[in-house]
Amino acid sequence: MHRLTETKIILVVRATRLADLKAKFATKSQARFYVSRLGGDFGDYEREDAKYQNAIQQTQHTLSELGRVQLVQRSFLPNFVFGSKDIVVALGQDGLVANILKYLDGQPLVGVNPDPERYDGQLLPFHLKNLDPVMREVLRGSRPKREVTMAEASLNTGLSLRAVNDLFIGMKSHGSARYRITLGKAAENHSSSGVIVSTGLGSTGWFKSLMAGASAVAMAAGRAASLPQKETSFPWEAGHLYFTVREPFPSNTTGAGLVFGKVTPQQPLVIESQMSENGVIFSDGIEQDFIEFNSGTKATITLAKRKGRVVV
């Protein structure tokens, strides 16, 4: 086959809901019985899967005429080694883009929406019909890219974890997280539902909901006016992060004064665990991929040195 280039193109895909059900129930018939018995529309699972599999085939065909293509399942990302010259294509939902970026080190990432009628695709600006011309521009180096600031939690145990959207620091269960939080010269012992540290890319997600909830509560209590919409998000490439403490509980030994603030390279956020067990840190909503955060463990949270690069 004649290719435009020998550059390696990594196509990252994910399992559909139907594939997850088949893995759980062993057969498609068993999965259909389970969903239908509960009144669900199993046909929607089938339609979604069929369209996605067709999109994978079309994408592979388009990319194979441009470079060497390697198909990678999302579940393999933690152990996959990307080459420095690789070009990465994400075919899936917005969350797949975030999942991939944390494992990259400057390689350009192209987000492709396989089903525009189903997915909004805020991070998936391209469709199958325009993938070929876009990829040709990427290969020539003429397609613009946008930098994405990531967050990173570095532990005194030597472990670290990056996040594209947000970091969660707290308890694995719904219990209260106990820790000491420090920002600059301010420090406090806390009992709360955990701390969220958000990036610019994640500011339209969890951060937005936290800000909206806090604003609504303050308004209902007559303590504040409505929060302007523009203040609930900040640029992807911003040189700072924001942290928010969920449901801080003031007591004789815990405070609720240091609950929101800006994190910069000059002023990192430091959190020391006071939890004997079940303390965790996870990123981008993936609870299964966590690092333990128990008594004596200290996390220093700031901007990651690595930057994501999203093709726009």
DSSP H or E run through 23: helix 17-25
CATH 2.60.200.30 domain extents, the chain: 150-304
| Rounded CA separation 299/181 (Å) | 10
| Rounded CA separation 202/104 (Å) | 17
> 8-143, superfamily in CATH?
Probable inorganic polyphosphate/atp-NAD kinase; domain 1 (3.40.50.10330)
pTM of the model: 0.85
pLDDT tens for the chain, residues 1 to 312: 567 778 999 999 999 999 999 999 999 999 999 999 999 999 999 999 999 999 999 999 999 999 999 999 999 998 999 999 999 999 999 889 988 998 999 999 999 999 999 998 888 999 999 999 999 999 999 999 999 999 999 999 999 999 999 999 999 988 899 999 999 999 999 999 999 999 999 998 888 888 888 888 888 887 766 655 555 789 999 999 999 999 999 999 999 999 999 999 999 999 999 999 999 999 988 888 899 999 999 999 999 999 999 999
Give me the CATH topology for the region 150-304: Tumour Suppressor Smad4 (2.60.200)
| Rounded CA separation 74/14 (Å) | 5
C-alpha dihedral sign at 92, 98, 103, 109: positive
Alpha carbon 79 to chain centroid distance? 17
Residue showing tokens 């994978």 = 56
> What amino acid is encoded at 98 in this protein?
A
Joined together, the tokens standing for residue 212 give 């909206």
CATH 3.40.50.10330 domain extents, the chain: 8-143
Greatest alpha-carbon span in the chain:
72
Angle at 131 between CA 1 and CA 116, to 5 degrees: 135
